[in-house]
Structure 1
Amino acid sequence: MKGGAFTLFHIKAIGNERSYHWHKDKAIVQNGEGSELKSKKIFLLVIVLTLILLSACNNQQDASGDKEGQEKDENVKASGMPIVEEPITLHFFAKRADTTAENWNDVLLYNEYEKMTNINIEWEMVPAAGLTEKRNLVLASENLPDAFHTTSMPVTDLQKYGAQGTFIKLNDLIDEYAPNFKKILEEYPEIKDGITMPDGNIYSFPYAFSPDFVSMLLSSRPWIREDWMKTLDMDMPTTTEELYQFLKAVKEQDPNGNGQADEIPFGANSINTLVEWVQGAYGLGNRGLKHKFVDMDPKEEELRFFPTAEEYKEMLQYVHKLFNEELIDQNIFSISTDQYLAKGSEGLYGVTHYFSPDVLFGKEGENYIGAEALAGPNGSRLYTSILPPVPTPGAFVITSANEHPAATVRWIDYFYGDEGAKLFFMGVEGVTYEETEDGEYEYVDEIKNNPDGLTVEQAVSKYLTYPGGTYPALVTQEFFQGSQGTDMSLDATERLKPHLIEEVWPAFIFTDEEQKIMDTSGADIEKYVNEMKDKFIVGETPFSEWDKYVETIQKMGLEEYMDVQHKAYERYKESSGKN
């Protein structure tokens, strides 16, 4: 402001540049040749022109950044098939797991779905091994795909790129174009809680499990050789001490009867599976698998960092005892999954913890039955190794480059309904599956009993893309044909059900500032805990250094870490109505 006047607008056009000022009741127009006074009409004209320009800018912003602000796509049908009247093509960036087809452009599932929808998908397949790096490069570029499919988009990226407008918000689009998914959110509020960001927006479709499909929530679970229990004249272990005695008998009494000490009492592809099984016997990890460091202290009814609890020390001492006496496979810290499965197929494990042995170990797998939840020395008997219904929120994300967001939402929503689930998990009737007389579905013999010796997953991957997991769909018992749906897995689930924890927390969602702490000092704390867990178990670090271990964690910023966890927990309670 100068001399009682101030510049309101500065407009630059081709070959003409002027500034418009307001001085009392007149507009002053200045140009390179001097200034002149005009009537208020000029000022009013400037106001009108500016409003038009602002409106144009806003419309342009809506078109480029907020797909919910676009006018309806007249090519999209409100319901039924095809989804669009005139064919369209979309470009999807997708993860390719080792267990799926190399090129999804050629699989039966999506070729069939294209005929139904009038939507052709150009699949850009990225191997799982280099997924994170390639995904980050694409996000940093100006060449975005229309959507990211099966790429396990981290929650931090959902928040970051959602706020920036790179990922479009889906709230209104779900309400209008996703009746199947909308029904799921209404029926299972815990799924909605698991995908809603702190700003109240939904930016993704999830990889989700039906809460009614408990076997899927349990994922892997413990198994025990039933024939060896009979040979050893022992009952099913129900306590940590009884498990120890059974493992000791397997090591010392040659239950396979071959005269060799080749039995492996406990074996798995990770020590963590054993820890997650027995920690419930010590009351630890009592809010599920998405919380490996915090749970609810049953004595105080408040959030706790349980890797510093006395019960955690007792649990590690128990696992150390098993390892020290060679009751655990001594290669468990380095064994590959293929090596583990090979040993399982030889029938060497007395107890294991993984997916259904009848599917993975062949004939030898039929000798196993599901093991029990264990009671610990203080009487706790919980089974805590259970997932929330949304293990992966960011399974499918639509980007701002997508010119057909409504059609894309309708495309993905189909797989969250019964018909879409049948197509996704079973394929095409007469080609990949048949309906039985009792109304159930089963794969054709070429898949069930493949003449080339392929497993079910290997055989079905020629037609379908669900092997490998983390896909955008709701997994239900009716259609899912993986190992969690076998009779053996369902029977094992029934054994564990009486001792399942009552409340399973989803992964907490942190604000940007909180995430910075979790990515720095928080990540350092969690890494240190995991490293020390292994060192205590193998005996590299003696338990006489326990107090030093606890003090180190405190100095690394435990108080700030727990403050972040508390804030996220309070938001979770509020959003889920648990206050």
Structure 2
Amino acid sequence: MNRSKRGNMLLACLVSITLLAGCSSGKSADSGGGKAQDAADAKINQEGFPIVNDSITVKAFAAKFFANADWNNIRLWKDYEKKSNIHVQWDTVQTETLKEKRNLLLAGNDYPEMFYASAFSRSDLLKYGKQGVFIPLNDLIDKYAPNFKAVMEKYPIIAKGLTMPDGNIYGLPTIYDPEFKSVLYGTPWVKQEWLDKLGLKQPETLDDFYNMLKAFKEKDPNGNGQKDEIAWGAVGTAGIVNYLRGSFGLNNHGTSNLNVDTDPETGNIRFIPADPRYKELLQFVNKLYKDGLLEQDIVSVKSTEVDAKGMQGLLGVSDSVDPVAIYNQKGYVGLSVLKGPHGDQEYNAYGSPLGNIGMFVLTDKAKHPEAMMRWMDYFYSDEGIKLFFMGWKDETYTEDANGNVDYTDEIKNNPNGLNLDQAVGQYLIWPGGYYPGFVKQKFFKGAEGLPTSVENAKKAEPYVLPQDQVWPPFNFTQDEQSELTTIQTDIETYVNEMRDKFITGNESFDNWDQYVAALKKMGVDRYVAIYQSASERYAK
């Protein structure tokens, strides 16, 4: 992500402000919410291992993807217990039942000392933080998390995105390294063989793009004498709309706050789905759909159906990860960033490096919050990141003389027929993507780390937003969140429904004004005002 970096002085001021604001919440920031003890009294080592001299047990709740992975016996946690002297007693649930179980624990006052991989929303972090259930982490970060603190200092967007309106930080996030550009952005994938066979170049404009898709549909690029090619294969319309946002000058702060950006004319918050440029975008996609250039069941098609077509090599364009990783189809390359009707040529369909910020939370029941902050901080260090994603040298990964790592053959070509995620999941817990931590290209070997994905990101990079223009998801005050809760779901559901209706022709563009009027009745002006306040806080 080609973004300018800010100096440490700004971050130092920001951290100081958040720490002071944390002190003003009625609890001592030094106490970490009233539970922290002096490190010497708790026999906690300030650095190095073990973290504590005397073994401690901590109760924790977490979500996981693999039902067969027993976190109380999985090697990652057993080895880390030996290293840290901290035994975590895990209570885990599948992600499908996470929200229900998590809420029951909190409602029944039966919650643990630590929530891990529990994906709390920003509104929940503030709600339970204000109630004193989640303890402020500001001072604990300052004293016991040198690795995480260094990340905040290097990338101020992290600290700004974590800090609630009351000045406190209540959760630690998943962070996607801003230098790992292919995990943050990349255009859809086009089948180069079909371009070559039809004598086509990469499209540069919307007209080029239309003509390419039309040729894929009509000129039999797979040479089987049948019109079975799917020009654009995808589940849902969001992929193509997002790809084209920057070509219509929309989302000039990225997509973390998907429906708002800055109006270039007024400098105020703009509600994108009511903007004339957004209407133009939908009209173009409607043309593609009407002319059969998109998957015709794109609104209702199941992923398994698209996957089946992908594995047969029938997709001209795929808006997922490199098809070699999911369809075993080689030869796809990243699409170009297209120039739109008003001269815009931007790739804005990506968010900030800050993932879910509620992935690590300490509650007011935590007996050793300092120790647990050190426990978590290790996984923001290179050594901890390598362990978390790769495991153990010469057992689960190999390393060459230049420090490049890769999984062993037993992981990549598992003799028991396990795919990579399943094989890794026998030892580690990252497959599925639910975890706090720091995703670095050097240690992450998923599809986004493939050389083709890296090349795709390089192609898009000249057209992506500068780093200091990208917004993380905004944080709202309790009053703002209360108002948003009553209007946001209805507005955003309506926007998505009407997007699909306009694209498929089930709603005429002649009714655009009625659509905008309906949004106003649903409270979109207040929605915009709340986002305006949040954006002004963020700018400060």
TM-score, structure 2 normalization: 0.91
What does residue range 165-184 of structure 1 map to in structure 2 within 5 Å? 165-184=132-151
Cα deviation for residue 516 of structure 1 reads 1.1
SS of the counterpart of 1:322? helix
Structure with greater contact order relative to length (CA < 8 Å, sep ≥ 6):
2
Tell me, yes or no, if structure 1 residue 443 matches structure 2 residue 443.
no
**Quick one: which amino acid aligns to residue 170 of structure 1?**
L
2:64 equivalent among 81, 96, 99: 96
Q: Give CA-to-partner distance per residue, 1:144-203, whole Å, 9 cap, x none.
A: 111111111101111011111101111111111111111111111111111111111111
Tell me, yes or no, if structure 1 residue 430 matches structure 2 residue 397.
no
Tell me, yes or no, if structure 1 residue 275 matches structure 2 residue 241.
yes
Cα deviation for residue 392 of structure 1 reads 0.9
Cα deviation for residue 290 of structure 1 reads 0.9
Select between 558-567 and 505-514 the one with higher mean Cα deviation: 558-567
Whole-Å separation in 1 of the counterparts to 2:382 and 2:359: 19
Whole-Å separation in 1 of the counterparts to 2:192 and 2:504: 29
Match of 1:308 in 2: 274
Match of 2:496 in 1: 530
Match of 2:424 in 1: 460
Identity of aligned residues (%): 44
Cα deviation for residue 470 of structure 1 reads 3.5
Q: Give CA-to-partner distance per residue, 1:234-271, whole Å, 9 cap, x none.
A: 00012121111111111101100111111110012231
Whole-Å separation in 2 of the counterparts to 1:229 and 1:535: 31
Cα deviation for residue 507 of structure 1 reads 0.6
Tell me, yes or no, if structure 1 residue 185 matches structure 2 residue 149.
no
Match of 1:205 in 2: 172
Match of 1:490 in 2: 454
**Quick one: which amino acid aligns to residue 86 of structure 1?**
D
Q: Do the aligned partners of 2:52 and 2:86 also contact (CA within 8 Å) in 1?
A: yes
Cα deviation for residue 495 of structure 1 reads 0.6
Tell me, yes or no, if structure 1 residue 231 matches structure 2 residue 204.
no
SS of the counterpart of 2:189? strand
Match of 2:285 in 1: 319
Match of 1:130 in 2: 97
Whole-Å separation in 2 of the counterparts to 1:399 and 1:272: 37
What does residue range 22-37 of structure 1 map to in structure 2 within 5 Å? none
**Quick one: which amino acid aligns to residue 425 of structure 2?**
S
Whole-Å separation in 2 of the counterparts to 1:411 and 1:436: 29
Match of 2:470 in 1: 504
**Quick one: which amino acid aligns to residue 84 of structure 1?**
V
Q: Do the aligned partners of 1:221 and 1:355 also contact (CA within 8 Å) in 2?
A: no
SS of the counterpart of 1:151? coil
Q: Give CA-to-partner distance per residue, 1:466-500, whole Å, 9 cap, x none.
A: 11114110111111111111101000001100111
Match of 2:72 in 1: 105
Match of 1:474 in 2: 438
Match of 1:77 in 2: 45
Q: Give CA-to-partner distance per residue, 1:208-249, whole Å, 9 cap, x none.
A: 11112111212x640000000001110001212111111111
SS of the counterpart of 2:418? coil
What does residue range 409-420 of structure 1 map to in structure 2 within 5 Å? 409-420=373-384
Q: Do the aligned partners of 2:63 and 2:434 also contact (CA within 8 Å) in 1?
A: no
1:352 equivalent among 294, 318, 325: 318
Whole-Å separation in 1 of the counterparts to 2:77 and 2:346: 43
Whole-Å separation in 1 of the counterparts to 2:500 and 2:73: 44
Cα deviation for residue 101 of structure 1 reads 4.9
**Quick one: which amino acid aligns to residue 380 of structure 2?**
Y
Match of 2:130 in 1: 163
**Quick one: which amino acid aligns to residue 137 of structure 2?**
L
What does residue range 373-388 of structure 1 map to in structure 2 within 5 Å? 373-388=337-352
Change (3 A) 1:154 1:425: same
**Quick one: which amino acid aligns to residue 484 of structure 1?**
E
**Quick one: which amino acid aligns to residue 101 of structure 2?**
K
Cα deviation for residue 532 of structure 1 reads 0.7
- Uncovered stretches (5+) of structure 1, i.e. residues with no partner: 1-57, 575-579
Whole-Å separation in 1 of the counterparts to 2:498 and 2:40: 56
Whole-Å separation in 2 of the counterparts to 1:470 and 1:573: 30
Change (3 A) 1:201 1:70: farther
Whole-Å separation in 2 of the counterparts to 1:133 and 1:72: 39
Match of 1:10 in 2: none
Whole-Å separation in 1 of the counterparts to 2:277 and 2:509: 13
SS of the counterpart of 1:208? strand
Change (3 A) 1:547 1:180: same
Q: Do the aligned partners of 2:246 and 2:347 also contact (CA within 8 Å) in 1?
A: yes
1:244 equivalent among 189, 210, 234: 210
Whole-Å separation in 2 of the counterparts to 1:403 and 1:221: 47
What does residue range 325-404 of structure 1 map to in structure 2 within 5 Å? 325-362=291-328, 364=329, 366-404=330-368
2:162 equivalent among 195, 198, 204: 195
Whole-Å separation in 1 of the counterparts to 2:235 and 2:419: 20
Tell me, yes or no, if structure 1 residue 151 matches structure 2 residue 112.
no
TM-score, structure 1 normalization: 0.85
Change (3 A) 1:67 1:88: same
**Quick one: which amino acid aligns to residue 145 of structure 1?**
P
SS of the counterpart of 2:511? helix
**Quick one: which amino acid aligns to residue 329 of structure 1?**
E
Q: Do the aligned partners of 1:109 and 1:424 also contact (CA within 8 Å) in 2?
A: yes
Q: Give CA-to-partner distance per residue, 1:499-556, whole Å, 9 cap, x none.
A: 1122211111100110111111222212111111111111111101001001111121
**Quick one: which amino acid aligns to residue 60 of structure 2?**
F
Q: Do the aligned partners of 1:288 and 1:386 also contact (CA within 8 Å) in 2?
A: yes
Q: Give CA-to-partner distance per residue, 1:247-299, whole Å, 9 cap, x none.
A: 11111011001111111100122310111001211111221121211111223
Q: Do the aligned partners of 1:293 and 1:306 also contact (CA within 8 Å) in 2?
A: yes
Count of equivalent residues: 512
Cα deviation for residue 73 of structure 1 reads 4.4
Q: Do the aligned partners of 2:36 and 2:367 also contact (CA within 8 Å) in 1?
A: no
Whole-Å separation in 2 of the counterparts to 1:491 and 1:464: 28
Q: Give CA-to-partner distance per residue, 1:402-427, whole Å, 9 cap, x none.
A: 11111111110000001000100110
**Quick one: which amino acid aligns to residue 441 of structure 1?**
V
Q: Which protein is bigger by CA-based radius of gyration?
A: 1
Whole-Å separation in 1 of the counterparts to 2:253 and 2:422: 35
Cα deviation for residue 455 of structure 1 reads 2.6
Q: Do the aligned partners of 1:319 and 1:537 also contact (CA within 8 Å) in 2?
A: yes
Q: Which runs of 4+ in 1 moved over 6 A?
A: none
**Quick one: which amino acid aligns to residue 436 of structure 1?**
D
Structure that is richer in strand per residue? 1
Whole-Å separation in 2 of the counterparts to 1:388 and 1:130: 28
Match of 1:67 in 2: 35
SS of the counterpart of 1:152? coil
